[in-house]
Amino acid sequence: MYARVYVEITNICNMACSFCHGHSRTPRRMSEEEFSRVLDALDGQTQFVYYHLMGEPLTHPDLPKFLRMAKERGFCSVITTNGTLLSRRKDEIIAAAPHKVSISVHSFEDGSDHAFDAYLSGIADFADSASRAGIIVVFRLWNKGFDGGKNARIETFLRERFDGEWTENTRGIRIRDKLHLEWGDRFTWPDKDAPCQGDEVFCYGLGDHFGILADGSVVPCCMDSDGVITLGNVFTEPLSDILASPRARAMTEGFAHRRASEDLCRRCAYARRFV
C-alpha cells in the first residue's frame, strides 16, 4: 500500500501565493460521482487521502461531503489549506472530522498587516476548536529565509494564544495534544523549462505516493502541477493498469538506481535533497 495519495478535488485557488508554481490547466472541480470513483480506485491502495496538489480544497462546496464519504469507506482525510476560508467553513469541516488539517501559514507572507492579524485570529480559532475535537492541526511555516520577519511574529502570536507544552522536536514544536507548529525550507517546484540538473536523482514519487488531478489524470508525485507526467486517467482506466504501465515502471526502476527516466525529474530541484 502507498503511504498516501494526493487527490486534487479542485485546481481552483482563491490566492496567488508567491511560492506557488501554479498551473495552466482548465479550472475544474471533481463532482461527487467522480470523487466516489476515485475512492473506489483507491480501495486497497492507501489509507490516507491528501486533499492537495494544486488548488484550495476549501473552495470546493462539497468538501465536507467528500470527507464523510472517505471516512465511511475507511480512509483518513488530510487537508492542506491556505487557511483563508477556515473561519467561514469552521463548523462544517470540524463536523466532518478529517484526520488532520495542515495550514500553510506562509501563504500570507505577502499580506497586509491588518489582513494578516485577522487571518491569524481566524486560523487560531479554528485550530483551537478542531484540535479539541480530536483533529490534528499543524501550522506550517515552510518559508525559511522568505518570511520577511513574520515567522517570529507568528510564533509570538501563537504562544500568547495557546497554553501548552511548547516542546521542540525534529519537525518543529508540539504546542499541545493534536496541535503543532512546523518549520520547513522553501522549495523550488519542478518546471519543464527549468535548467536540467542532471540524471542523478531520487524521489519517493510512485514509491510511497502518487497524485490524481482534478480531471482524473494520474501523476507520479505531488509536485507535477501541470500534469506533465500523466500516466493515465483513473476515470477511464483501471488504476492498477496505470501504476503498472511501462512508463510508471521505468520511473520506479530509475529511482531505484538514482536515475531519472523523465525530463521533468531532471529539472526538479526538490528531488536533489534526497540524492
Per-residue pLDDT of the chain (275 residues; tens, 9 = 90+): 999 999 999 999 988 777 777 788 999 999 999 999 999 999 999 999 999 899 999 999 999 999 999 999 999 999 999 999 999 999 999 999 999 999 999 877 555 667 888 999 999 999 999 999 999 999 999 887 766 678 888 999 999 999 999 999 998 999 999 999 998 887 777 888 888 887 788 898 899 999 999 999 999 999 898 999 999 999 999 999 999 999 999 999 999 999 989 999 898 877 766 65
Which phi and psi angles does 66 have, rounded to 5°?
-60, -40
> What is the distance between the alpha carbons of residues 234 and 227, in angstroms, rounded to a whole number?
13
Would the pTM of this model clear 0.85, i.e. be above it?
Answer: yes
SS (H, E, C) 94-121: HHHCCCEEEEEHHHHCCCCHHHHHHHHH
Is the CB of residue 212 less than 8 Å from the CB of residue 5?
A: yes
